[in-house]
């Protein structure tokens, strides 16, 4: 992380930014940033763009966006600057050379990273005289700009309130979590903890089905039904976990371990890589080894939470 931000802030240029509520700068044109810029154009915003690979702006420029000649120009064009980058390190890589132009801007950083990185990034931006709002978007690019989507935000309430109409262009709903810049990042990471392994579980099912001559589309309806039913389990177990209730009245970990053994062996018999279900089996094994095989598999929460 760069140092001496105050010095940079002191040299901040005096250009008057555009105060129009209908103009925005988008920095970062991966699939997400492109979709965001397109959503702003659809709503009639004046959109200024910057991306490390300029060609990613071509289609948006054809639709009326302006590609800034430099990062500094992109920052100075608007009060509101959306960052949609792979991570916070990309923010430093892009903004450090133009650090003086951060002063006076509100940077809404929708890049994924750890809560600590989000807090440190926010301190860096604040030290440069800018305002930072952390965000975590909960939808894929094709759903950007649609009403039933949501984004977590955290950081200064005033900035959130000021720019909320513009933020609601990105996702129809916004969920403000508080002043702590790390909270939106945390909520986003919690979602990713669930999302990525869930989808890999489905890829595993597809690979296993494929080994038996079934296509992804053959099993998709059953997989979708399975995912849709997960809400029942979350609603059932969550209050019990909070109450410390891991009674084995509806499931026992020993049953779960036997079931995961069947999954691992069905997988291996088909010549499919069993690494993923074997990792899940290992968690059941640890609960049983701790003498808690007669308890619900929710016991694993305590086991996972143990430090050291």
Residue numbers at the binding site for ligand NDP (CB under 6 A):
28-33, 51-53, 56, 84-86, 90, 93-94, 110-112, 137, 140-141
Query: Which is nearer to ligand NDP, 51 or 296 (by Cβ)?
Result: 51
Give the angle 43-44-49 at the CA atoms, nearest 5°: 100
E-strand stretches of 162-252: 173-176
Contacts of residue 40, Cβ cutoff 8 Å, sequence gap at least 6: 24, 26, 47, 166, 169
Query: Which is nearer to ligand NDP, 14 or 53 (by Cβ)?
Result: 53
Least separation in angstroms between residue 187's CB and ligand NDP is 12
Q: Which helix (H) or strand (E) holds 95?
A: helix 88-95
Least separation in angstroms between residue 209's CB and ligand NDP is 25
Query: Which is nearer to ligand NDP, 88 or 297 (by Cβ)?
Result: 88
Torsions phi, psi for 248 (to 5 deg): -90, 45
Question: What distance in Å separates the CA atoms of residue 86 and residue 53, rounded to the nearest whole number?
Answer: 14
CA torsion sign for 42, 45, 51, 57 is positive
Query: Which is nearer to ligand NDP, 138 or 208 (by Cβ)?
Result: 138
Which strands sit side by side in the sheet containing 66-67, from one edge to the other? 66-67, 46-50, 23-27, 80-83, 106-109, 131-137, 150-154, 173-176
Tally Cβ neighbours within 10 Å of residue 117. 20
Least separation in angstroms between residue 152's CB and ligand NDP is 11
Q: Looking at beta carbons, which residue is closest to ligand NDP? A: 30
SS3 of the chain: helix, strand, coil, percent, to 5 = 55, 10, 30
Query: Which is nearer to ligand NDP, 48 or 51 (by Cβ)?
Result: 51
Least separation in angstroms between residue 240's CB and ligand NDP is 31
Query: Which is nearer to ligand NDP, 25 or 111 (by Cβ)?
Result: 111
Query: Which is nearer to ligand NDP, 136 or 274 (by Cβ)?
Result: 136
Least separation in angstroms between residue 28's CB and ligand NDP is 4
Least separation in angstroms between residue 144's CB and ligand NDP is 9
Question: What distance in Å separates the CA atoms of residue 42 and residue 169, rounded to the nearest whole number?
Answer: 9
Least separation in angstroms between residue 151's CB and ligand NDP is 9
Cα R_g (the chain), whole angstroms: 24
Question: What distance in Å separates the CA atoms of residue 167 and residue 232, rounded to the nearest whole number?
Answer: 32
Least separation in angstroms between residue 135's CB and ligand NDP is 9
Residues recorded for the chain: 308
Query: Which is nearer to ligand NDP, 141 or 210 (by Cβ)?
Result: 141
Query: Could you give the 3-state DSSP secondary structure of residue 106?
Result: strand
């Amino acid at each position: 992380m760069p140092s001496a931000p105050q010095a940079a802030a002191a040299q901040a240029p005096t250009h008057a930014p555009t105060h129009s509520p209908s103009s925005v700068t988008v920095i970062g044109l991966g699939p997400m940033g492109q979709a965001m810029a397109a959503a702003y154009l659809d709503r009639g915003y004046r959109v200024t763009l910057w991306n490390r690979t300029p060609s990613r702006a071509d289609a948006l420029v054809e639709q009326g966006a302006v590609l800034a000649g430099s990062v500094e120009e992109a920052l100075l064009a608007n009060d509101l600057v959306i960052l949609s980058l792979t991570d916070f390190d990309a923010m430093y890589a892009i903004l450090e050379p133009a650090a003086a132009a951060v002063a006076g801007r509100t940077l809404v950083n929708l890049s994924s990273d750890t809560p600590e990185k989000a807090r440190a990034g926010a301190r860096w931006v604040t030290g440069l005289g800018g305002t930072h709002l952390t965000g975590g978007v909960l939808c894929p690019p094709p759903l950007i700009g649609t009403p039933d989507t949501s984004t977590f935000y955290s950081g200064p309430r005033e900035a959130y309130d000021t720019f909320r109409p513009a933020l609601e262009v990105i996702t129809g709903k916004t969920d403000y979590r508080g002043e702590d810049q790390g909270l939106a990042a945390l909520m986003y990471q919690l979602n990713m903890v669930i999302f990525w392994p869930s989808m890999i579980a489905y890829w595993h099912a597809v690979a296993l089905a494929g080994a038996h001559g079934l296509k992804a589309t053959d099993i998709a309806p059953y997989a979708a039904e399975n995912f849709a039913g997960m809400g029942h389990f979350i609603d059932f177990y969550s209050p019990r976990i909070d109450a410390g209730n891991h009674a084995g009245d509806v499931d026992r970990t020993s049953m779960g371990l036997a079931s995961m053994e069947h999954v691992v062996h069905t997988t291996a018999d088909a010549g499919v890589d069993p690494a993923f279900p074997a990792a899940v089996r290992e968690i059941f094994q640890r609960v049983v080894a701790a003498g808690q095989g007669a308890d619900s598999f929710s016991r694993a929460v305590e086991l996972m939470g143990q430090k050291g």
